[in-house]
Structure 1
Amino acid sequence: MPPKGTDQELCCPVCGQEHLSPESLPRNIKLKQIVEDYKANIKNGEGLSGADEINKEKTTNLKNSNDTNSVYKEERSQVETEVNEKSSRLDSVITSLREKLLLIDELVNKEKDREAAIKGSHVDLRKDVNSVMDEMEELIKAHRSTGMKLLEAELKQREDAAEKRLKVLSDAQKFLRTAELQVQSLLNETEDLSFSERVQEVEDQVSKVTIQDSLTDMELPGHLKEVCEKIEHQNNQLRLGLGSAQRALRVVLNPSEVTFDPETIHPNLVLSEDLKSLSFSVTKQQYPATPLRFTSFFQALSSQSFTQGEHLWHFQAEACSWVFAVCYSDLPRSGSASGLESSLGSWCLMYCDNLLRAYEQGKDMHLRRTPSLKKMEIRLSFSSGSLVFYSVSDVSREKTLLHTFNVNFTLPVFLAVRMMSGQPKAHISLN
């Protein structure tokens, strides 16, 4: 620009036209466009100097680094979130596993204890069963030995008789052959007197030989009927012995097994072959007299006694009033005191004339009137000290509680029954 006070013309650098002042200069559109483009390039990062480029690169790298850190932080946060979610799920699974492991550990320990108890009880069980089997084996051996002795004794008699008959015949044969030789020697006898005497002697000797009479006195037994009868009697004894052993085996394998004791039943009661049923008989049976047999009432005790455990039995009565009881064995066998309901060692129910009564150690209690009571269930629990009686419906088999005795037994107890009346079709059975 020229100094003030100096006149100087202004010329357009493009067209060369002179102007008096800058304001009179025309607008340079092209230059304006170049300046605006330059400004735009600067704004967009173009047309920068080397230092600007470096700063821009640093800025860009810093921005990219920040962006990378941001992405890394975001990914890390996402991973941590996923890990936390997995850990949360695993925690619940681990908790469930530990709970089940604790339960399984407890069950395993209980089963180990149970297994040990079972194996321990099986030692005694095997011992008891083996003892019963040994008893059966001894019974069979004894039966075989006795049967063979009976047979051998009979056969020896037959053999001795046959041997004796043969000896008689052999002796007669020997004698007659000797006589034959004597007769032949008489042919050479020259003296008549001597001949006659010797002939007479031989005739007398021969006449004494009575073969048929001798054999008749030693006749052989025609058959083995007697030994057969003796062996059959032994068979009956064997059956009784094996039956007793079998019942003992059933008691070992089934602690609640119960049968009636043949030595206790009243003579007017008939015992079934399986020893589980009693029937009334007008005719008294020819049972052996024993101090255990009831003689005043139609009663019977079980063969088995019970001191522990849990037991369940069913009774059924037909055409009779009855008494079902659990009792000690020391009650009398005759007289008024021998009735189950009268004993101080008896707990029973009596059903008679449609009236049900309970008796505990001789004291009675009226329970109810009921038109029919045929089937009964009895539960005996030594652990709870209870004796419970139920009636069982013939139709629905539903059970109705009749009475509960709470008692701690001090002695072994037996099951017992009584028929209150002697009817031809009266029948009591147990299971």
Structure 2
Amino acid sequence: MGNELRAAQHEIDMFIRLIPLIALVDNSTNTHRVQEAAEQVDGIFIEGSNHRVRFAARVLDITEIRVQGARKLCNVREHPSLGIVGTQEQKTLDNKELVKLCMLTLENYPGFTEFSYFQIMDATDKFSEKRYLGSGGFATAYKGQLPQGFVVGIKRFDHRATLSDFSNELQLARLQYTNIIRLLGWCIHGKERILIYKFMQNGSLDCHIFDRIKGPLLDWSKRLKIIKGLVEGLVYLHKHSMLHIVHRDLKPNNILLEYDMTPKISDFGSAKTLCSDITEEHTSRVVATSGYIAPEYASRGVYSLKTDVFSFGILVLETISGRKNTVLDKRGDTVGDLVRDAWHMWKDQRLRELVDPSLGNGYDIAEITRCAQVALLCSQEDPADRPTMTDIAAMLSSESMRLPVEPKRPYVLSEGGAGEVTYINQSSRTIDITITSS
């Protein structure tokens, strides 16, 4: 609570410091005048220097969003703890800009530490293959060991990463919660852009539920603990973080497991902040993973907190079944085969057929039924039909609580069709989609 209050104080202080700038912004104000005023608003100290360096504060960005069919204007600040919006999504990494963001984050959240490049090289044995953990859309992960014996996870961004990819991860500096990965520090050296995290001993969720050897070790009690931990983490992101953060790329690869199997939501490169919990926003650059992407986000670039709810539903079904959700795009599929199969099994009271065979009989069918029904409610095509994460927490916390509605049947697949999106790039398991029609 103390951390949350301090974070709130920092937010308020920044608004107060921006008041002189806001007063100068009107229809007749040109960009040069605004930037001059911005330079007078605030500055930061660079650690180890004897002089004060001033960085230009960012002008409030006015973003048009749609709320339940109506339009309103919302002030979205470009701040390192919130992520960059608008045209910054595709801006390439610039060292001066990144250092500026990192130093502002360091100023606001003292637990965030700068690491030297030599420390990183030593910790990873010069990024050796034996330290390699895996690769994502725009970065490679390594296991690192600091001189004190402390083990960390190191994310090394590549040349394809944008300013938004890096800055969105910086918001983790203020998100200190049990089920959110902990960001420890940063390093920028030449072309190297690196972030340092707390290391998760049991790797990612996909390495367990889809593995024939590790799968049986993840019994139902552990899987249920993971599901409930994800609920708590998403409730925090959507409601209690004060930022209404939508992750936009939830999948088993981005769920890391602590030594006791406590789940940690990671990889916030695609995350965005919303003005309220009912806000919808649009983007023409959809970066997500097939099988987990909500239909409205894939086809129209519309995202909201309900986008995460859909992905959570898929995660739950995969955790129960040990199966991957496959989407048949050419047949107009919007949710995936796992969702359709699970719905029919639920409707026919055959949910035992859905359960991962590696679990044997070591599960409570009532718990399976409740989790599966909640997952099906989450993975419905229409976001208005999906519950909120707060509702989901209530549904899973009380065994006696009757679920308010039944999940609707998924749409029947068509006999072909090209769909409304064009896939222009595929890297690893992440697909980059450009919207061509609505």
Greater percentage in helix: 1
Specify if TM > 0.5: no
Higher alpha-carbon Rg: 1
Structure 1 length-normalised TM: 0.23
TM-score by length of 2: 0.23
